[in-house]
Amino acid sequence: MAKIGVEQSLTNIQQALREKGYDVVELKQESDAQNCDCCVVTGLDSNVMGMQDTYTKGSVIDANGMSADEVCQQVESRLQ
In order along its 80 residues, the chain shows pLDDT tens digits of 899 999 999 999 999 999 999 999 999 877 788 889 999 998 765 555 555 545 566 788 999 999 999 999 999 999 98
Can you list the pairs that 21-30 forms with residues at least 24 positions away whose Cβ atoms lie under 8 Å?
22/75, 27/51, 30/54
Pairwise CA distance, residues 9 & 6, whole Å: 8
Cut 0.75: pTM above it: yes
Domains and CATH numbers, the chain: 3-79 (3.40.50.2300)
